[in-house]
Structure 1
Amino acid sequence: MMKVKNYVGQFHPIVWVLLIGTVLSRGSAFMTLPFLSIYLSRHMDLSPIIIGITVGMSPLMGTVGGFIGGHLSDRFGRKPIMLVSLFMVAFVYYGFTVATGQGWFILLNALNGLSNSFFEPTAQALMADLTEKTKRMKVYSLRYTAMNIGASVGPLIGAYLANTSAKLSFAITGTIYLLYALVLVYFLQRLVVPLSQEGNSKKVVSFGAAFRIIKTDKALRYLIIGIILVNMGYVQIDSNLPQILEGTVENGILIFSILITINAVMVVVLQMPISHLAEKFRLMQVMVVGAVFMAAGLVCFSFVSGWATAIIAIVLLTLGEILIFPSNSMMIDQLAPEHLRGTYFGAAQFRKIGNFIGPVFGGYLLSHFQGQIMFWVIALVTLGSIIFFTAGNKFRVTKADEVV
């Protein structure tokens, strides 16, 4: 009991509120958004192109919105940005329950992506604000684990509601986000968050100046490019893999659903022990090994013929995921000046460009060649991230030496 108390006590209570909120909000979001396209096709009689535009509006707005939201949190404080964005997300899901035209769905999902892109980097920055530097890697790993706990449960509930009452799933998700916002209001008012961590520092710069700082930070730029390439590989699991499995493997959709479950459960179970082991190595080494594992998983997918090869492939890819993504957050944290942490985490949202390019590029390869060629090429692209990680680390070390 004492061990549990000591473990909980090493992090600020607000950090735990954010982690628990991440489980609930991500679980509810995964309960609805993966099934939004099904809802639109069933109830709105829309063309696949319009459905694609509607679904794609969220990550599209998130690509640029994160930088804006992160910077605003540096200027005006974490609290107002986080709370306004959470209340807006709740409004979006309630809006889905009453929307009747395609224009409303496009607008609401765009607002959803913008609001989430404001909240995510701000929440990460606040977690870093409230955590000792030596424990931040553990916090980022806990956050990633929390996201995957939600991701492992949400789709199961969403699959049931999609066939019974899709609007109910929207209402449930909106209510969870509303409660999350209200609980966060309560704790932020009751608990002391130091002013130095609320974005009121005299060092805070204008938006234009912040953009120029990001533009000139070569280490950050190379790191973002590397993660874009990694995301191009990782996103194939959600975009092109199910198409390939359905068309080439018996019970392909069943296998795909099991693979998604294995992925989420592995992250939940292994994230913390692997992150603890990874702390003994340099971030650069961890990210390079992660890229190799992810590329190996993609290559294995090119040879999938049944359950065994599919499971081996997802295990390799998930190990790469566990190593890369929390390490990426930690490296951004190390790059960011204290007064620009929100701006840096916001700029990192540009990595979502890979979530756009990946499905399109992979789909092109799939339509003109075949699944095996597609996975090989995408695996090479993923390995290409190592070049940019290495270059980014070189400039990061140079930057640290100049500061010293």
Structure 2
Amino acid sequence: MTESDQPTISPGGIFPRFFRRFPTEMRPVFIISVLNSAGFSLTLPFLSLYLYQQRDIPMALVGLFILSSGLVAAVVQMYAGMLSDRLGRRPLILWSMLTTVAFYVIMAVLIYFTAPVWTIIVTYIIVRSSLMASRPATSALVVDLMPAGRLVEGYGLLRMGQNLGFGLGPVIGGYFWLVASYAWLFGAAAFISIIACLVIYFNLKESSTSLNMEKITLNAMFSTVRDKAFLGFTLISIIAFMGLGQFISTLSVYTVDRIGFSTVQYGSLLMLNAVLVVLLQYPLTRLVGRMDRGTALLLGMAVYAIGYLSFGVIGVYGLVLIAMGIITLGEIIFSPISMTIVGELSPANWRGRYQGFYGLAETLGISLGPTLGGALLDATAPDGRMALWGPIAGIIMLAGFAFYIWGKRQYRHPVTRSVT
């Protein structure tokens, strides 16, 4: 960027003082992340319940369905990441949200008329893929806009927006689940996404000033594997997200079907997660950002594991809220640090490509997670608890120690990034 292209930080306006620490261009990014996550979390946590309770699909098959949608979305993310380097961040994000609106509406119609399950599955795969297509561009946009020394703060802000939306969605969804058809959840998600489209069109500015005109091929999409440090981090992340991916599908079925919570109570757990992230993400991000990367990643995984293990020994609603609080602390520590590492490793004109490839790891891991969780739920039925959460916590800690070793090696001998 030239001096005139640098993001500006405005001292005035209606935004609270906290937001004035960030470039003004980050404000629509925050708003879009809230709306995007609200629409997503309004529908996905209850999809497993819909298929399991209302369409009588076994949880193992539900897990395989989520895995298949994740695999498709992962490939779409890789392609979309390169496309954002070629066309720019803003066009990619806008077209992604427009596609999402259209298929949210189609999904609502299919569920309302009790369409065959396979049509719902195919449509949802498209919905999830279109949503995920915007993520590499959004993550790359943060790297474009934030000063290098404050990149962790930028991702902390992004995570605040995502979790605020993620908490609001299930609360609304839990209410609709009780008083209306599940189809209305997708109708509400479509309305929220339309608002996001308007914010993108009128407020989001293009951040990339050096477009990469390289032809998009399969070989180019996987060219990031030549970066051994990045490849190692990505492979460990797949293992980590297999454990962390229990947060949606497995946890919803466990709390509602096995413990006996209402869908509103389950939604309140996710709302608590969102509130804690909004309150604690920024101060804790600045604190953890001073730690070395390997130690911070291990700490985040350890806190996550303790939180999931807690679900295996408690069942009272108040104590479950505490367990959710512990999991949230793990998320607050891990998420912005991992996203920052990807930004630090990526060359300037390959940022979308790196974010897209890392999206493959995240989506693949999170999609494999419900497959593992679904199998454990079926194997430990009807009331297994520690037998469910113990193996999941073990996987998370395995990833934590691997992250620690990787971080100590990488940041002891950092690699200079360049594209040839």
- TM-score, normalized by the shorter chain, greater than 0.5: yes
- 1:34 corresponds in structure 2 to 45
CA distance, structure 2, for counterparts of residue 242 and residue 97 of structure 1: 21
Give me the TM-score of the superposition, normalised by structure 2.
Answer: 0.83
Please give the per-residue CA displacement for 1:164-199, whole angstroms capped at 9, x wherever unaligned. Answer: 2444432332232223223312234xx5x46xx245
- Matched to 1:185, the amino acid is Y
Please give the per-residue CA displacement for 1:331-385, whole angstroms capped at 9, x wherever unaligned. Answer: 0000101111111111111222222332333343454454213322221211111
| Distance change (3 Å), C-alpha of 1:51 and 1:309 | closer
1:303 counterpart SS class: coil
Higher helix content, 1 or 2: 1
CA distance, structure 2, for counterparts of residue 122 and residue 36 of structure 1: 27
- 1:61 corresponds in structure 2 to 72
Structure 1 residue 108: Cα displacement: 2.1
CA distance, structure 2, for counterparts of residue 241 and residue 200 of structure 1: 42
Structure 1 stretch displaced more, 128-137 or 170-179: 170-179
* Of 207, 227, 232, the match for 2:242: 232
1:13 counterpart SS class: coil
Q: C-alpha root-mean-square deviation of aligned residues, in Å?
A: 3.1
- 2:196 corresponds in structure 1 to 180
Please give the per-residue CA displacement for 1:51-102, whole angstroms capped at 9, x wherever unaligned. Answer: 6666555433222221111111112222221111111011111222333533
CA distance, structure 2, for counterparts of residue 84 and residue 293 of structure 1: 38
- 2:387 corresponds in structure 1 to 373
Structure 1 stretch displaced more, 382-391 or 233-242: 233-242
- Matched to 1:187, the amino acid is N
CA distance, structure 1, for counterparts of residue 165 and residue 86 of structure 2: 31
- The answer on whether the counterparts of 2:85 and 2:352 sit within 8 Å (CA) in structure 1 is yes
Structure 1 residue 142: Cα displacement: 1.0
| Distance change (3 Å), C-alpha of 1:167 and 1:279 | same
- The answer on whether the counterparts of 1:299 and 1:375 sit within 8 Å (CA) in structure 2 is yes
- Matched to 1:339, the amino acid is N
**Matched pairs, number:** 397
| Distance change (3 Å), C-alpha of 1:289 and 1:105 | same
- 1:107 corresponds in structure 2 to 122
Structure 1 residue 208: Cα displacement: 4.1
Percentage of identical aligned residues: 25
Please give the per-residue CA displacement for 1:117-164, whole angstroms capped at 9, x wherever unaligned. Answer: 210111111122122112221111111111111122111212222332
1:124 is aligned to 2:139: yes
- 1:346 corresponds in structure 2 to 356
- Matched to 2:394, the amino acid is L
| Distance change (3 Å), C-alpha of 1:174 and 1:309 | closer
1:86 is aligned to 2:97: yes
| Distance change (3 Å), C-alpha of 1:158 and 1:374 | closer
Give me the TM-score of the superposition, normalised by structure 1.
Answer: 0.86
- 1:321 corresponds in structure 2 to 331
Q: How do 1:227-266 residues align onto structure 2 when only pairs under 5 Å count?
A: 227-245=237-255, 249=259, 256-266=266-276
1:400 counterpart SS class: coil
* Of 155, 159, 166, the match for 1:144: 159
Structure 1 stretch displaced more, 126-135 or 302-311: 302-311
* Of 81, 84, 89, the match for 1:73: 84
- The answer on whether the counterparts of 1:125 and 1:345 sit within 8 Å (CA) in structure 2 is yes
- Matched to 1:272, the amino acid is Y
- The answer on whether the counterparts of 1:57 and 1:106 sit within 8 Å (CA) in structure 2 is no
* Of 168, 193, 211, the match for 1:153: 168
- The answer on whether the counterparts of 1:219 and 1:391 sit within 8 Å (CA) in structure 2 is no
Structure 1 residue 241: Cα displacement: 4.1
Unmatched 5+ residue regions in structure 2? Answer: 1-10
